[in-house]
């Protein structure tokens, strides 16, 4: 989509054009099992680099095309007006995949709603996520420190990349966790500037899944069914400052020292709760498989570990 559409006036004109466009036939052919669907899915699959002007447009098979507020009210937008602009855009435009405790897709909702502890607790919102653990050829693990502008867990140290597959065709593919692996490749580029050629999708090894809940502060938190993806590659890294404050490679002993400092509260160092769960339950035994070249033998994608 042309960047000239980013201004509010042009967006209004473009939406007016859409209202008159001959999409009624497409709406009429929609499955009767769903009363509404995203207009954007009829038009294009947005990328993380493109503005999603249609995030709040809905269409019903029995109604005309109208613009309506997103699931988060306009009051929420006003209340969070001080939020970093990039993070606010992602919060309201990204649609996470809602699942039940057996990892069956049950719907989708905004990243904003999925991370509100009030909604997590009252509606038991659970969304699909992934955590990437990237090792270089020296078997060192790449860690990142989340940027200070992140809404949840700012400035904490964590594994290489932690994010969500989105409610889009390419990231909903269940077979061999392909949708999640596609999302991981996308976010490693977004957050760390790692080119897709450096991290082929078929090189990600899904080792397991865990379900956890963790508050970030009084308002925000996580409730995720998290896919744990390992990959061994030498990569080019160019962190995106909107997402990442710092990066470092660590060996086992350096990670253990990092854990000691976090436990002692030295220098205010903090680790993300999901990273700590993986470290405490899986990481060091899986690190053995990294070094021995036997990672696929360690995989267990049937079990969902509730931690």
pTM of the full predicted structure? Answer: 0.73
Model confidence at 190: pLDDT above 80: yes
Beta carbons of 167 and 183 less than 8 angstroms apart: no
Q: Torsion angle, CA of 218/220/221/222, rounded to 10 degrees?
A: 170
Q: What tokens does 275 get? A: 């990273």
Average pLDDT of span 84-91 = 67
Instruction: Read off the pLDDT of residues 173-183 as tens digits, 9 standing for 90 and up.
Output: 999 999 999 99
Q: Residue 216: pLDDT band by 50, 70, 90 thresholds?
A: confident
Least confident of 37-41, 62-66, 161-165, 220-224: 62-66
Helix, strand, coil % in the chain, rounded to nearest 5: 40, 25, 35
The pLDDT, as a whole number, for residue 217 is 77
Residue 225: name the closest of 128, 149, 113, 116 by CA: 128
Instruction: Read off the pLDDT of residues 228-273 as tens digits, 9 standing for 90 and up.
Output: 999 999 999 999 999 999 999 999 999 999 999 999 999 899 999 9
Query: Do the bridges between strand 127-135 and strand 221-232 make them parallel or antiparallel, or are there none, so unpaired?
Result: parallel
Q: How far is CA 275 from CA 92, 114, 144, 173, 232, in A?
A: 25, 19, 11, 25, 18
Q: Residue 40: pLDDT band by 50, 70, 90 thresholds?
A: very low
Q: Residue 15: pLDDT band by 50, 70, 90 thresholds?
A: very low
List Cβ neighbours of 214 (8 Å cut-off, separation of 6 or more): 221, 222, 223, 273, 274
pLDDT over 90 for what percent of the chain? 66
The pLDDT, as a whole number, for residue 46 is 37
The pLDDT, as a whole number, for residue 85 is 73
Gap between the Cα atoms of 262 and 36, Å rounded: 47
Comparison of pLDDT for 19 and 83, the residue scoring more = 83
Beta carbons of 143 and 250 less than 8 angstroms apart: yes
Residue 208: name the closest of 180, 186, 171 by CA: 180
Instruction: Read off the pLDDT of residues 95-154 as tens digits, 9 standing for 90 and up.
Output: 999 999 999 999 999 999 999 999 999 999 999 999 999 999 999 999 999 999 988 899
Least confident of 31-35, 100-104, 242-246, 298-302: 31-35
Q: What tokens does 288 get? A: 């053995």
Average pLDDT of span 11-33 = 38
Comparison of pLDDT for 93 and 20, the residue scoring more = 93
Residue 210: name the closest of 274, 299, 266 by CA: 274
Q: Residue 91: pLDDT band by 50, 70, 90 thresholds?
A: confident
The per-residue b/e assignment along 4-22, b for 16 or more CB within 10 angstroms, e otherwise, is eeeeeeeeeeebeebeeee
Q: DSSP string of 114-161?
A: HTBHHHHHHH---EEEEEEEEE-TT-PEEEEEEPTT-SSSTT-EESSE
Sign, CA torsion 77/78/82/85: positive
Average pLDDT of span 162-177 = 97
Gap between the Cα atoms of 245 and 144, Å rounded: 7
Model confidence at 71: pLDDT above 60: no
Average pLDDT of span 184-201 = 98
Model confidence at 31: pLDDT above 50: no
Residue tagged 């949840």 (tokens): 152
The pLDDT, as a whole number, for residue 87 is 65
Active site residues: 162, 224
Q: Residue 24: pLDDT band by 50, 70, 90 thresholds?
A: very low
Gap between the Cα atoms of 130 and 165, Å rounded: 7
Model confidence at 56: pLDDT above 50: no
Average pLDDT of span 6-30 = 39
Beta-bridge partner residues of 227: 130, 209
Gap between the Cα atoms of 77 and 172, Å rounded: 28
Comparison of pLDDT for 221 and 67, the residue scoring more = 221
């Amino acid at each position: 989509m042309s960047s000239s559409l980013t201004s509010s006036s042009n967006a209004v004109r473009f939406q007016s054009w859409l209202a008159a466009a001959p999409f009624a036939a497409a709406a009429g052919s929609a499955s009767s099992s769903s009363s509404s669907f995203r207009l954007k899915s009829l038009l294009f699959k947005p990328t993380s680099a493109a503005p999603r002007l249609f995030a709040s447009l809905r269409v019903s098979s029995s109604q005309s095309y109208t613009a309506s507020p997103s699931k988060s009210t306009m009051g929420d937008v006003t209340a969070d007006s001080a939020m970093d602009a990039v993070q606010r855009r992602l919060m309201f435009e990204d649609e996470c995949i809602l699942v039940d405790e057996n990892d069956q897709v049950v719907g989708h909702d905004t990243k904003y709603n999925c991370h509100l502890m009030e909604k997590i607790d009252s509606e038991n919102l659970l969304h699909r996520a992934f955590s990437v653990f990237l090792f270089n050829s020296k078997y060192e693990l790449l860690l990142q420190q989340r940027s200070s502008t992140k809404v949840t867990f700012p400035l904490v140290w964590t594994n290489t990349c932690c994010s969500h597959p989105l409610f889009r065709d390419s990231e909903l593919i269940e077979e061999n966790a392909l949708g999640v692996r596609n999302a991981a490749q996308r976010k490693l580029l977004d957050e760390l500037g790692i080119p897709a050629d450096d991290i082929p999708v078929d090189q990600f090894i899904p080792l397991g899944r865990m379900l956890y809940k963790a508050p970030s502060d009084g308002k925000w938190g996580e409730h995720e069914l998290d896919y744990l993806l390992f990959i061994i590659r030498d990569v080019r890294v160019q962190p995106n400052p909107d997402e990442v404050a710092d990066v470092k490679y660590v060996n086992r002993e350096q990670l253990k020292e990092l854990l000691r400092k976090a436990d002692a509260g030295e220098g205010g160092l903090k680790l993300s709760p999901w990273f700590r769960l993986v470290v405490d339950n899986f990481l060091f035994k899986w690190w053995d498989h990294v070094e021995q070249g036997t990672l696929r033998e360690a995989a267990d994608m049937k079990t969902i570990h509730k931690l």
